[in-house]
Amino acid sequence: MHRTLKALGASIAALSAFGLAACSSETGSGSEPSGDVDIVRYDSNPFPSTYEPVPSGVTLITGATVFDGVGGELENTDILIENGRIAAIGAGLSAPEGASVIDAEGRYITPGVVDIHSHLGVYPSPSVNAHSDGNEAVAPVTAEVWAEHSVWPQDPGFDTALAAGVTTLHILPGSANLFGGRGVTLRNVPSRTMQGMKFPDAPYTLKMACGENPKRVYGNRGGPATRMGNLAGYRQAWQQASDYRQSWREYWEAAEAGEDVDPPTRNFELDTLMGVLDGEILVQMHCYRADEMAMILDLAEEFDYQVTTFHHAVEAYKIPDILAEHNTCAAVWADWGGFKMEAYDSIRENLPLTHAGGACAMIHSDSDLGIQRLNHEVAKALSDGRRMGLDISDAEAVSWFTSNPARALGIFDETGSIEEGKRADLVLWSGHPFSSYALADNVYLDGALMFDRADPERRTVRDFMLGQPGEGDY
Amino acid sequence: MKKLLTSLALAAAVIAPASAQTLVINNGRVVTNTNAGVIQNGAVVVRDGAIVEVGSDVAIPDGAEVIDAEGGWITPGLFHPQTQLGLIEVGAESSTHDDSAEDSSFTAAIDVADGFNPSGTHIDSTRLEGVTRFAVHPTTGSAILAGRGALADATGEPDSLFASRQFMLVDMSQSGGRTAGGSRTAAWTFLRAAIEDARFYPGRFMSHHEGDAIDRYDAAALVSAVRGEIPLIMLMDRAADIRRAIAFADQYPAIRVIIAGGAEAHLVADDLADAGIPVIYDPMRNLPDSFDTLASTNEGASILHEAGVQVAYTTLGSDLYFNPRLLAQHAGIAVAHGADWDDAFRAVTLTPAEIYGVGDRFGALATGYTADVVVWDGDPLEVMSAPTSVIIGGELQSLETRQTRLRDRYADVTDEHQYAYEH
């Protein structure tokens, strides 16, 4: 007998069923039997986004120097925003009737900042015990947990990140576990609910971790206790996921052929890993050392999945060729290091060297303070790269906090660059974004002015800060 | 090799030994931190480790070594008021730590100079970013009195720790309350009792070595702080705690209180200014990361300066052992959020030197000052600027570090086997 999902109508289930794409391609087109209504398929999106752009009018920003996020630096350029999207980019654009016109002469515009590594909401401020929701540090494999279920939308850190131009951010579980759980990509808007911040249709991600953290956390709790234990743990889990995926495929194939078969027992941990094997969930892996990254790339080949991004990747500069060959990105700090042995070989030129070596590279914060100055972190890395002789333009480096993280999150078709048709996620900076003294004057999400430095009344203030000393002061 | 002797300088030393120790840094925008202000196209003349002349119309002595700033900036070296350089090499490896004597029964008598390692590699990378002097702070151990800190230069030389037992550190924050017995009340009671122990040292210890809070050896160490010979640095963030500290300073006028942390200091800026209490402050911290820092804001630095508080900047929001080198970036944040550039720059040069009582030797470019001079390729508070020359005590320093060696090794990985043997 087939169990059915009571909450879901058959048509919805068919549209959003987990693994449907793989299933359909196997069985061919249009050959689904009428008994499909009873075939068990699970909703891949049970906590759907309710994000709605803040209503906005027509806005024309004139005369700015525009870094488009994809390598362009356009002087004296206007940007027209309509219906929350970038409608036009060019010189001498005329303002439609009723448009609000912002004179940006002498100022700079970049795409909204995208941070691919944040723990806002899961390790919120204040960092009291009750708020420690980032690491399900009870077992080395917890692929079944989802960071979005820990996100506290009232984290005041979202407000300060917004004031720094961050329009999109990716919230990850911590790195205690080999498989830490799913990450979630958020729009940086005030919201009563996590769902109200969730980036519509952004792919899920899976946080994995190399090296010292898992073995430190589990070394005296049943393991893994060593790096070889870490690798064994990944392989065991991937093999289970591979078997699980196969059992579902066999089930769907048989059920679609009208056979009376029982579905496999659902396993939330393996659901997530199966999503990776199906190419629907992007692997975002915490990994510092070059030698470990190289082994993980072999592991990914063994089980036929893609590592989208290595996070922290303090030694990426030692292996840009290997990263490039595997089409794997590195998300790094400008100059953090020294806090553990695997971070000891941190160099300030990591980002520019990795970029110059042909790999996809980007900045990330992993910090509620660092997220407030990703432009400055890029500036430091860029200037250090130039001092060693690397020829990298300002416009190229802007991609490190805009388009590259957007690509690595699978949302580049929506944000991360200033191109017609994209979401109008923009930052108007008071000066060159690589100057210490530049601040975000205006921050737009989907064309709506969400932060205006000149208008303190407009500042977003999370619930926690109401009535506290410092309310509204960033 | 910390001291850079080029073959040119060597040759000069052989030919003209009489003037070999004269160094001229010229053709730059000189920030003096004195009444002379900023000198456009100025020069600094250094002899025997000290500054002998600063001005715009300086004659180059015969045989002097010349460093051409090429239109860049010439400034005093940065002075970091709160580091653990030389005490921690790798954060997560306790075997590389000497910052906290957490299992010791001693408190005030702890002296960080005993654990300081001038060969710590992070000192080199800190020097690379223009920091020439720094304070070395212990971490609180078994008691809220963490012990005595020291002052060091950034040469990495064996004698670089130039002054030990320069200040006493006490944790009066929320964590100090936990250490002392569960609450701030325990911390203040302990501190007052310890001070009484020290005030009545040695009389109170004639017949036994225990005091009310601390024992004889620790009481002896605390005496210099109680007499005001060295400052007492209190770690705290919350405005209410700072008010207690101001009242405490009023009660013990001889004690020279300094606040370190001070996330909410701007709320009591006027009182701090009136009491003459300096603050070691990080302009980067602006989050309510605890209930002690609810009011923290990037505007805090400018508010404190405006009120006339003596402020030195620190890098608490980054860290104190690997990234004290980011001091200039932290100062840039203050300027972006309203602080005057001059105030911010002093907060990383002259003011910390003054707080530690060495402002007559370090932190300014003036005749008689120790020659800690940095040449920058642009505004030192701009994140894209960097030093091109660093001079400490009149000696031109190496700008090579373990990190630059790694960089150079991997700058061009074209041969799998060759690179590892190029060193």
The tens digit of pLDDT for each residue in B219-261 reads: 999 999 999 999 999 999 999 999 999 999 999 999 999 999 9
Beta-sheet pairing, A85-90 with B78-83: unpaired
pLDDT > 70? residue B422? no
- So what's the pLDDT on residue B16? 41
Residue A284 contacts residue A308 (beta carbons within 8 Å):
yes
Identify the structural domains of chain B with CATH numbers, from first to last.
7-76+377-406 (2.30.40.10), 78-362 (3.20.20.140)
pLDDT > 50? residue B187? yes
Nearest beta carbon to residue A379 from set B92, B335, B383: B383
Q: Measure CA B4 to chain center.
A: 24
Q: Give residue for tokens 């975002």.
A: A284
pLDDT (average), residues B162-180: 97
| Residue A167 to residue A148: CA distance in whole angstroms | 17
Taking CA–CA distances from B380, the nearest residue in chain A reads A436
The tens digit of pLDDT for each residue in B255-281 reads: 999 999 999 999 999 999 999 999 999
pLDDT (average), residues A150-173: 98
Residue A72 contacts residue A401 (beta carbons within 8 Å):
no
Q: B332 and A464: CB-CB below 8 Å? A: no
pLDDT category of residue B421 using cuts at 50, 70 and 90: low
pLDDT category of residue A19 using cuts at 50, 70 and 90: very low
Residue A172 contacts residue A281 (beta carbons within 8 Å):
no
pLDDT (average), residues A243-266: 97
Number of residues that make up chain B: 423
Nearest beta carbon to residue A339 from set B92, B239, B335: B92
Interface test with A, best of B292, B383, B406, B408 (most A CBs within 10 A): B383
- So what's the pLDDT on residue B413? 79
Q: Is some CB atom of chain A closer than 8 A to the CB atom of B340?
A: no
The tens digit of pLDDT for each residue in A207-235 reads: 999 999 999 999 999 999 999 999 999 99
The tens digit of pLDDT for each residue in A185-209 reads: 999 999 999 999 999 999 999 999 9
One-letter amino acid for residue A58 of the chain: V
Give the closest-approach CA distance of B124 to chain A in angstroms.
Answer: 13
Q: Is some CB atom of chain B closer than 8 A to the CB atom of A323?
A: no
**What DSSP string runs through A343-384?**
GTT--TTHHHHHHHTTS-EEE---STTGGGGHHHHHHHHHHH
pLDDT (average), residues A295-321: 98
Which of A380, A414, A373 has its CA nearest to residue A397? A380
List the structure tokens of B52. Answer: 């002998």
List the structure tokens of A111. Answer: 């795409």
Q: Is some CB atom of chain A closer than 8 A to the CB atom of B299?
A: yes
- So what's the pLDDT on residue A398? 99
Determine which of A363-377, B4-18, B51-65, B231-245 has the lowest per-residue pLDDT on average. B4-18
- So what's the pLDDT on residue A1? 34
Residue B396: strand pairing partners: B391
List the structure tokens of A155. Answer: 């984290």
- So what's the pLDDT on residue B420? 63
Residue B97: strand pairing partners: B88
Nearest beta carbon to residue A436 from set B91, B267, B382: B382
Q: Is some CB atom of chain B closer than 8 A to the CB atom of A464?
A: yes
- Please report the number of interchain residue pairs, chain A to chain B, with beta-carbon separation below 8 angstroms: 136
Give the closest-approach CA distance of B332 to chain A in angstroms.
Answer: 6
Q: A437 and B332: CB-CB below 8 Å? A: yes
pLDDT > 80? residue A33? no
How far CA A85 is from CA of A64, A79, A384, in Å, comes to: 18, 10, 36
| Residue A439 to residue A163: CA distance in whole angstroms | 8
Domain ranges in chain A?
A: 1-46, 112-234+267-416
| Residue A69 to residue A168: CA distance in whole angstroms | 14
Please report which helix (H) or strand (E) contains residue B136, including its range. strand B131-136
- So what's the pLDDT on residue A38? 85
Nearest beta carbon to residue A380 from set B291, B321, B383: B383
pLDDT category of residue A259 using cuts at 50, 70 and 90: very high
Most distant CA pair in chain A, distance: 70
Determine which of B70-74, B232-236, B417-421 has the lowest per-residue pLDDT on average. B417-421
- So what's the pLDDT on residue B417? 58
- So what's the pLDDT on residue B18? 40
B267: chain A residues, CB-CB within 8 Å: 469
pLDDT > 60? residue A21? no
The tens digit of pLDDT for each residue in B120-148 reads: 999 999 999 999 999 999 999 889 999 99
Residue A184: strand pairing partners: A171
A473: chain B residues, CB-CB within 8 Å: 295, 297, 299
Give the closest-approach CA distance of B25 to chain A in angstroms.
Answer: 22
Indicate the average pLDDT of chain A: 93
Q: A383 and B239: CB-CB below 8 Å? A: no
User: What is the CATH number that goes with domain A112-234+267-416?
Assistant: 3.20.20.140
Give the closest-approach CA distance of B181 to chain A in angstroms.
Answer: 20
Interface test with A, best of B96, B127, B128, B294 (most A CBs within 10 A): B294
pLDDT > 90? residue B13? no
Number of residues that make up chain A: 474
Backbone phi, psi, residue A163, to 5°: -65, -15
The tens digit of pLDDT for each residue in A164-177 reads: 999 999 999 999 99
How do the residues of chain B divide into helix, strand and coil, expressed in percent and rounded to 5? 30, 25, 45
- So what's the pLDDT on residue B352? 98
pLDDT > 90? residue B418? no
List the structure tokens of A61. Answer: 């920003």
Q: A379 and B384: CB-CB below 8 Å? A: yes
| Residue A185 to residue A199: CA distance in whole angstroms | 6
List the structure tokens of A411. Answer: 């949302």
pLDDT > 80? residue B10? no
How do the residues of chain A divide into helix, strand and coil, expressed in percent and rounded to 5? 30, 20, 45
pLDDT category of residue B423 using cuts at 50, 70 and 90: low
Q: Is some CB atom of chain A closer than 8 A to the CB atom of B141?
A: no
- So what's the pLDDT on residue A5? 36
Residue B167 contacts residue B233 (beta carbons within 8 Å):
yes
Taking CA–CA distances from A322, the nearest residue in chain B reads B413
pLDDT (average), residues A151-165: 98
Q: Is some CB atom of chain B closer than 8 A to the CB atom of A358?
A: no
Q: pTM here?
A: 0.94
pLDDT category of residue A4 using cuts at 50, 70 and 90: very low
**What DSSP string runs through B25-39?**
EEEEEEE-SSTT-EE
Q: Is some CB atom of chain A closer than 8 A to the CB atom of B400?
A: no
Q: B290 and A126: CB-CB below 8 Å? A: yes
The tens digit of pLDDT for each residue in A400-436 reads: 999 999 999 999 999 999 999 999 999 999 999 999 9
Q: A339 and B299: CB-CB below 8 Å? A: no
Q: Is some CB atom of chain B closer than 8 A to the CB atom of A219?
A: no
B321: chain A residues, CB-CB within 8 Å: 338
pLDDT category of residue A29 using cuts at 50, 70 and 90: very low
